[in-house]
Amino acid sequence: MGPRACLVPIPRAAPSRLQARQPPEKIEDLVEFFLDTEAPEMEFEVARCRPQLTPEFFAYLDRRIGARDPVAACLARVLHTAAAGCHLYWCFC
């Protein structure tokens, strides 16, 4: 059984810009990719990158948080919320 399709509309802001952004393969670069993503686009990017949000990805975030990285802690809360299928509109860091 393959991964479930997640239908998240592309934000109106700039669909061509979003389509042009390519998520990186490496976990470290993917974290930076999410940090560079604007809040209105986060739900779209999380849905697009869902296959890459593996236990290894979250373990990497946990290690960064353990190193007292407050930005990684905020990102982890946002990504855990989005990966659980919740809307991000109420997630404030």
The C-alpha atoms of residue 17 and residue 26 are separated, in whole angstroms, by 21
At residue 3, does pLDDT exceed 50?
Answer: no
60 vs 14, residue with greater confidence: 60
- Asked if 28 and 72 count as a contact pair (C-beta separation under 8 A), the reply is no
Q: 20-24 long-range CB contacts below 8 Å, 24 or more apart?
A: 21/45, 23/48, 23/49, 23/52
Stated pTM of the model: 0.65
At residue 46, does pLDDT exceed 70?
Answer: yes
User: What is the number of alpha carbons within 13 Å of residue 27 lying toward its C-beta?
Assistant: 13
Neighbours of 63 (CB within 10 A): 11
